[in-house]
Copies of this chain bind each other. A is one copy, B any other.
Amino acid sequence: MQVLAFDVFGTVVDWHGSIVREMQALYPAVDANAFALAWRARYQPALARVRAGAQGWAVLDELHRAMLEEILPRFGLAHLSEAERRQLSRVWQRLDAWPDSVAGLARLKTRFIITTLSNGNIALLTRMAKRAGLPWDCVLSAESFQAYKPSPAVYRGLARVFDLPAQQLALVAAHHEDLAAARDCGLRTAYVERPLEFGASQVKDVAPQPGNGLHASCLLDLARQLGC
């Protein structure tokens, strides 16, 4: 195995906790947990519209902004200025890493090429990594292939970029549907437990499921399992 490709939102960074913290600081009257969940709830439907061709290609920064516009009135934030909306919509570039992520990636990087393989756009992933200290060797994105996961074009694109047989690549993710789609393209798969991805009010079932070659409690555990 030569390349470890990582899902990012939820797997490497804590989108729920980061958005909650930013909302509590900026708009303390808003239910930050409900706000974060409402924003993210529009994510899969928005990607599905692009995948289905109902909407032309748009990078995730644009989709996040459009989703934000849709939920602002419901949370009493219809009065936000253009600058405030833009600043808030870019919170996805300022997400904090899970506590094990930086150290885990640093260890995995000693033996493998570590790359993002995220639906986040390249600029979003680059700015996030710079702020959070994520030591990627490479930044690949849905944007690189103009297709959103779980479209096979993304996983096949990864194999084409590295000119490797699919079994030399692994996807690391906290989401079974992402891993299943990667496996359908011949990649190895590693599941990472992130029980608090949606916050403490919606604890995720992280029980092992068949099919994944590796199941890790965090990225440090994954590094240990892979001998790093």
Is A138's CB under 8 angstroms from B162's CB?
A: no
Q: Determine whether A47 belongs to the interface, using a CB cutoff of 8 Å to chain B.
A: no
Total interface residues in chain A, CB < 8 Å: 20
Contacting residues, chain B, for A130 (C-beta < 8 A): 113, 137
A122 touching B161 in the complex, CB below 8 Å, given contacts A130-B113, A137-B129: yes
Q: Determine whether A82 belongs to the interface, using a CB cutoff of 8 Å to chain B.
A: no
Q: Determine whether A4 belongs to the interface, using a CB cutoff of 8 Å to chain B.
A: no
Contact with B along A43-75 (1 / 0, CB 8 A): 000000000000000000100000000000000
User: How distant is the Cα of A129 from the Cα of B136 in the complex, in angstroms?
Assistant: 11
Partner of A127, one of B113, B126, B127: B113
Contacting residues, chain B, for A129 (C-beta < 8 A): 137
Contacting residues, chain B, for A161 (C-beta < 8 A): 121-123, 143
Contact with B along A106-122 (1 / 0, CB 8 A): 00000001010000011
Chain B residue nearest to A130 (CB atoms) is B137
Q: Determine whether A151 belongs to the interface, using a CB cutoff of 8 Å to chain B.
A: no
Contact with B along A147-167 (1 / 0, CB 8 A): 000000000000001110000
A123 touching B61 in the complex, CB below 8 Å, given contacts A137-B129, A138-B139: no
Contacting residues, chain B, for A139 (C-beta < 8 A): 137-139
Q: Determine whether A140 belongs to the interface, using a CB cutoff of 8 Å to chain B.
A: yes
Is A122's CB under 8 angstroms from B137's CB?
A: no
Is B113's CB under 8 angstroms from A138's CB?
A: no
User: How distant is the Cα of A191 from the Cα of B220 in the complex, in angstroms?
Assistant: 42
Q: Determine whether A33 belongs to the interface, using a CB cutoff of 8 Å to chain B.
A: no
Is B143's CB under 8 angstroms from A122's CB?
A: no
A137 touching B126 in the complex, CB below 8 Å, given contacts A61-B163, A163-B61: yes
Q: Determine whether A144 belongs to the interface, using a CB cutoff of 8 Å to chain B.
A: yes
**Cross-chain pairs A/B with CB under 8 angstroms, 23 sampled:** A61-B163, A113-B126, A113-B127, A113-B130, A115-B126, A121-B161, A122-B138, A122-B140, A122-B161, A123-B161, A123-B162, A123-B163, A125-B138, A126-B137, A126-B138, A126-B162, A129-B137, A130-B137, A137-B139, A138-B139, A139-B139, A143-B161, A144-B144
